[in-house]
Structure 1
Amino acid sequence: MTQFSYSRVSLFNDCPFHFDLRYIKRLTELPRYDADNPLIIGNALHTGVEHDVETAINEYYNAYPVLTDPIIEEALKLEILIPKVKAFLDKNFSDCELIHEYKIDHYDFVGYVDLIIQAPDGTCMVMDFKYSNNIKNYLESGQLHIYKDRLERDGFSVKKLAYMFVPKTSMKQKDNEDLFHFRKRLIRAVEESEVTFVPIDFDEMESVYFKNSVEKIKRTKDFSKRNVTKKCFSCIPKFAPNYLEAIYNDKGEIELVLPKNERRERKIDTKPDFWIYADSYVGKSTFVDNIPNVLFLNTDGNTDNTTAPVIPIKDIVTKSGRVTNRKLAWEVFLDAINDLETEENDYEAVALDLVEDIYEHCRVYVFDKNGWEHESDGSYGKGWSKVTTEFNNAMKRLKALGYQIGYVSKEKVEEITLKGGVKRTTFKPNINDKVANFLTGTVDLTLRAYVDSNDERFLQLKKKQNVFGGGRFDWQVETIPLEMDAFIEELKAAQDGKATKKKEKPKRTGRVKKEVAVELEDGETITATYEEEQPPAEEKPKRQHRSRTVAEEAAPAEEEKPKRERKARNADSDAAEEEKPKRTRRSRAAVADDDTPPGEDAPAEVAGEEEEKPARTRRTRREREKKS
């Protein structure tokens, strides 16, 4: 049965169209790396309240490919706001137990409670953190009411509900203001702000509304309606998600090609899509040239050190009489994608060298098509939107072809200012941040190549905060030589144990039961039964039960009377031990190997040994009573 969360049902009520894309079609949403991303900041805020500021800041920094000045400024806010929240909790709930990030996991519902405050008498308050100034909108939410109902099923005695609103300070740097004074003004504004604690009353009808919405989702077949409540953030262009599998037309409509609903076997990936960037003359193109069956789409003409086939991405100028015709480089790039889509070939990988030049060709194409000189010549936001849509659609088409994709870029070195005024150097691809964030979402890993002081070339694998990069692999080393063989070897090591393994069923072997008679010291005889494994035979003989007499004859003489002696607990001397009779304990004798086939007599020498002392049979209780 499907587990429903409050956010899932809320999205359906606001916009069935985006509910369908996210939860039914399950499209891959490319991450947004804005400094004020509410999801990233919210996670960091919760971490800081539960642990400490340092842990929260590290988690916040590690969520981004590389640090920027706006990210540093958001971290400055968190360093001030987290202690404010913790001070409020310590002041008002010092004698209570705080339960952070409690997971409600029912068969039909799943949710995460930010904070449960449990008093000494066992009663609880459920608190939810909101990093927002829109208090009124959240007070109408039914989230906490549903959490109360579900927590009581888990045994909590919930008596109060409340929101903790953490103020969101938004400021822009003035034109005549330097970074130092802007940050001082920002810090002063955040320090003057205060957290707001808002208790609310429980409304049991919210659970009823939630159940009705769940039933409506199950019955719904058509999810084409959009922004029903006018509250869907995904329908606002600024906050609209960018799906990897979606191609957008000029009207903003999504064209989808869904994969088959089949499980794929997990394998070690030695051909990941990647993005490599480095300074000039480091050897990034030479590194990519070592990929088998790779096709280069080259923009800068530097192909002397590579051997792979090349399609130059440049303007093509032709003359027909006095008429000069120009085919723009972006159109050449689109033609290359069309050929890769429609023509049969034996290429396995496609390398874009350089990808930032291809983006610039896209801009020129859009300008020429619309008669612009810059994106700002279009109406508000239209110019940037057209360039972004054109570029993203082309890259998604290329990605969907199934080739291994490799982006090659030059390196851009910038400086950011940390909170103490210290400058820190950052390394990133030579392309604007928004395009970089999109491209890094379409590949499996982003790598930086560099040359050290000894003129040796290396590849940076593990992520660093001042180096744009990251990926989906658990690297065992930080750097490796800039060689394809070393790269493939580390790829395999990073994925060790993640491939799908097929278990072989062991062959079953036959078991044969055997019995042996054992005589104990007190005169009683017992029968011991054991199983012996035998390899499977071509013809399985009929199983025959061995008689007790045969088993007795086959038993070795030395094991007829097994004894386990116990030492006396209070033995003072050897003489005292000799006077006391030895106590024996009944035990089963170990079974000796017997090669006699079932149903045949034992060898003569074994039978002779048994004749010296015939086996004693066990008498029943009735026989003993008759004899007496």
Structure 2
Amino acid sequence: MQVSHSRIETFKRCQYQFKMRYIDELKTLPADNADNALYLGTALHAGLEKDVDAAIEQYYSNYTVITDEIINEAIKLEEMIKRAKKICPDGQHEVLIEDDDFKGFIDLLVPVKGFRDADVPNVYDIYDFKYSNNVENYLKSDQLHLYKYYFEKLNPGKKIRNLYFLFVPKIKVRKKRENESLMMYRKLISDELKNAEPFIREIEYDHEKVIQFLIDVKHTVEATKYEKNYSWLCNWCEFKDYCKEGKDYMLLPKNERRKVEKVDKKVIWVYGAPFSGKTVFADKFPDPLMLNTDGNIKFVTAPYISIQDKLEKNGRMMNRTLAWDIFKDVITELEKKDNDFKTIVVDLLEDCYEYCRLYIYDQMGITHESDDSFRAWDKVTTEFLSVMRRFMNLNYENIILISHEDTSKDITKRGGDKITAIKPNLREKVANKVAGMVDIVARAVAEGDNYTLSFKKSEVIFGGGRLTINNREIPTSYEDFIALYDEVNISGESEEPKKRRSSKKKDEETVTVVETPANVEEETVEEEKPKRRTRKRRTE
């Protein structure tokens, strides 16, 4: 089997994706989004090898209709390529490295200059182009290390001196005002581009990365089973629907409108002070299963699974099972859908996060993230969010998350006044990600015998979700919640918040959007360079 850097990275990321792409050779229709990483990356290479016109022609050739969004990306490409060419040295582009075992392309092979700018015989620098902001992830990649190793192996007497990445920042700006004109939006793009400059980073050759790659090749070649690895990266996988839902990419969909205004599955996050009725509220949903972490099940009737560390004696040995492993095993069982539960509840979410931390500590042999701050925080966050994404994707009528609230932090206003912040008891970065996975975030409030669900959201009160419910309070009852949920799920939001929203000032700031992860974008022009296609286009 002939391998490449991208093939092995795909196998390490998801064995099932590797099987679909390289063994079964399943073909999918290419995505036609304007910010397609493959299209932009290929166009960048064309621009640095030739000129801006070649880059734009290459980029446009991927689309049958040139929309405003596509033109916006072309504007960014044009400006960034002009700047990148100023720092890009002269050399040989798209140098193929290939033998029976390995295949790759060096983006740029540059002869090393010596005395009076004369070329030093058979000594070169290599460059790889990246249209991305994920600098640190690429700097840890083994890609350039492999290119040096295989180039020198296949070209006896020739040496690679230095390894470089040329990073071209990717600018993304989205409208915050629905009625913002195209001219104003493009001016905002121009303003963002003023602060973006391509740059070059050097890395030192590490032969251990080559050794690890060869070990990974052995595992890949010897594999007979190809497991699915569900994670947040599934969102960028071309086989996502095929893998999860069994959809056949080779069949066109029926010519009928999809009904997207109403969904049956409800995904809810409820947080509040202890004994504010959160668990009792979740218990009222139909056919619930509680995944309980704190033992607070005294006043609920639902069946439950205890998510806690287990220590079992096996003869003279004590076997310890981490709570996070138990949680993932439960998700695996729930994915089989061979049960009659309708509601799945996690109580408490922050305990699951702590179990995830301990799981990563155990894997890394550390006692705290600060012991290995370069990797640990990222590994904990990635592990937790990828597993939670699996949980959110479970095919049940109701998915409910429960958290305690945290009021231990104050926010200082401009005038100096301090206001207590009210938010779930979860790290802010993670909480914001979880809020983006749910339909509604509600706060449970208990005042005496009065129990309510509050949907107020402000600079001091945490809220969010797909559905908009502003400044509403309802009794903490299943019936009242379902009535409110159905109301906003059909209309998008209740009438009262709509009126308030229409009276807001129109002049809002534009925000920058996070881009596609680096290890997804990495699949650009490594094995098979897309052929330039020429087709008729019309401007929309």
TM-score by length of 2: 0.49
TM-score by length of 1: 0.42
The higher-RCO structure (CA 8 Å, 6+ apart) is: 2
Structure of larger gyration radius: 1
